[in-house]
Chains A and B, each alone.
Chain A
């Protein structure tokens, strides 16, 4: 559903606007690297524009800061209606390593609704291209939440008071399940 909608809306080209709300410039350099001839994304129709009014996609870098939250929100509101927001880097995804400092509000999703997350510190240029491909619907996402278990519930618990000797064997009278 969303995939079809995305392909219909953003079928021809994505114009990206690049918003840094207080990052360390590492992700900026990686995004810039994507736009250079080495990872030439203009062959896919992705183009950097200078104004949020021309843009389909906002690339957010850096956490939502106390000083830039309003400006980020205004830039988001200025974008025309079918719009996507990408959070690039661990700062934009989760607040960064200085998430508990006084000037950091937290992840970008506290200020603007985020559609796609590209974690990494900074993410590789390939990862950014992959994220755009996931957003447009060319490839499926590879990650899924993982849960490992070393045991299965319930765990039997044996009390020493319930131990009884019977015919040279030790028998547990009662097995309590935890």
Chain B
């Protein structure tokens, strides 16, 4: 009985053959709709900040230096590669590339920064879509994220005076 089962096992093993993929020697073909690192195209970007408002991980920061200059910063630390930024972009400036070999020893290597020139409306200074009533509560004026501490903030006093949401807990270690 036991000999028979061993023979059976041998047969199964022989049938499977060699299954190890030759990854480090030759690259594996990726699935066709694989989403890797998003690539931002500065030539196409119009700076509408739709990606920053739609990012579920809040990894795209917007900083309005003045009326004409807007800085868009993609940090990519906790990016889940969901592709929502690419989905919402009206100019298709964001493409989900097939890069997945992003291992680094410094987390700052993943970030991308766009310095955008915003042309302004001659009459009102700036033209943008009117926000929804829920956004109006949070967003008063322009968006003004904290680039040094890498956190997003809404333009209201309640949000500005608080510490970063992540940093409010002090870790107690023995």
What is the interface of chain A, defined by CB distance below 8 A to chain B?
A: 37-40, 43, 64, 66, 69-70, 73, 90-91, 93-97, 99-100, 104-107, 109-111, 115-121, 123-127, 129-131, 133-135, 141-151, 155, 178
Contacts and interface: CB of A to CB of B under 8 A. Distances in A.
Contact of B23 (A93, A110, A126, A141): A126
B68 A150 contact: no
Interface string B134-155: 0000000000000000000000
B146 to A, nearest CB: 14
Contacts of A123: 100
A107 B77 contact: yes
Contacts of B79: 90, 94, 119, 121
Contact of A73 (B100, B112, B173): B173
Nearest to B114: A148
Contacts of B117: 150-151, 155
Interface string B39-80: 011110100000000001111000000101100000111111
B101 A126 contact: yes
Contacts of A141: 103-105, 109
Contacts of A94: 57, 59, 75-79, 107
A70 to B, nearest CB: 6
B149 to A, nearest CB: 12
Nearest to B66: A178
B166 interface: yes
A126 B112 contact: no
30 contacts: A37-B19, A37-B20, A38-B19, A40-B20, A73-B173, A90-B57, A90-B80, A93-B77, A94-B59, A94-B76, A95-B166, A104-B166, A105-B166, A105-B169, A106-B167, A111-B173, A116-B104, A119-B76, A119-B79, A120-B100, A127-B100, A127-B101, A127-B103, A141-B103, A145-B109, A148-B42, A148-B114, A149-B115, A150-B42, A150-B43
B57 A99 contact: yes
B112 A148 contact: yes
A96 B173 contact: no
A80 to B, nearest CB: 20
Nearest to B150: A94
B104 to A, nearest CB: 5
A152 to B, nearest CB: 9
A95 B77 contact: yes
Contacts of A96: 57, 78
Interface string B149-174: 00000000000000001110101011
A131 B57 CA distance: 23
B28 to A, nearest CB: 6
Contact of B105 (A37, A115, A119): A115
A111 to B, nearest CB: 7
Given A119-B76, A126-B28, A97 B56 contact: yes
Contact of A97 (B21, B57, B108): B57
Contacts of A64: 171
Residue among A115, A120, A123 facing the most chain B CB atoms (10 A cut-off): A120
Nearest to A120: B100
A89 to B, nearest CB: 9
B20 A39 contact: yes
Contacts of A144: 109
